[in-house]
Structure 1
């Protein structure tokens, strides 16, 4: 019953993707590929809005029945553990000093590491986006590596592109350094904390040290 609407999206995206494979042939295919891509985008937008509407309408219609359903205790327990993990991670890796007695502010070298990584990531992304022609050789999905790139896929990267890729890898290394530091810092916080913490599985915290988490820490903890 709920599958037919999905088939409409699949069909539109499939036709758009197939048309893109013929785009390099020029002629009418250039127009057809653009048209089908626009239609696929419109179909996905309409189906997204429609699904949100019908989900909300169904939830409102059967609200009483849904509220009577018993809560999943295991899910609630998992949510509490995640909240505790987020609290510990936030306290242990705070940008500035917090009210937690055993928490220390992030050292200056780690702040510099995060700031440098963020700056390099921004430079690499903007350079690849706005100066793509200077960084990468022209290459279509239907092109051949043997013909367009002389059999060497690394020819796709121009000298400027190689610099951009190197800058991006350095920013990833900055993130890796932060994640390693955060793991050690959280372990020390849990071990040394004077509070009676309900959360003791430090491995659950590792997933918290992502780019989004670090950016949130910088913005929320900055005095």
Structure 2
């Protein structure tokens, strides 16, 4: 339990900055809780993920200007999509997606590293109507992905908000927290209805994840875009290594 709480704190810290806390929390919990089915472990982890993300979202909301009507649309779509993705998770394997995601992440890491201006400032290139449509599409695709596969969702949201909606890293991280909050909630509702959450594990981890989320959000707001960009690259590279391990060594 102590090990799980330490992992939860680190996951909350990383997730608050650029997402990707699931890369730390999920594999560790699967190793430390081998006696439970995978779906039960993943369902349990949604509680600390939601708790840490909610604290980080609150911190960002106080400091970053957000488009709340657009966020409400994205949150609603992401919630429904994640619920459907979690339902599908209990029925089919998601392993066929990992090679594709590995290739995408390698391209993302190279592009972010070589393009120094990527995410350094807000660059709106779409009309307001187009932005709403793209925001809805991002929420649908990545909401479903989070419910179905999970790891790296926060990083994918940050990438989508920068590359498609033209936000900077700080804005993207703030918006990603709220959408990720909805995807976690959608999955939680499904796993609660399915009886796949172990509250004796979820609640202590949730407290530690919240503390980590608070610390991570504070640091991101203090350091700004340059720091978040570097952290984003680190997390993307970690995601690449995780998926590569799953594909080639499992």
TM over 0.5: no
Higher relative contact order (Cα pairs below 8 Å, separated by 6+ residues):
2
Query: Normalising to structure 2: TM-score of the pair?
Result: 0.23
Q: Which structure has the greater CA radius of gyration? A: 1
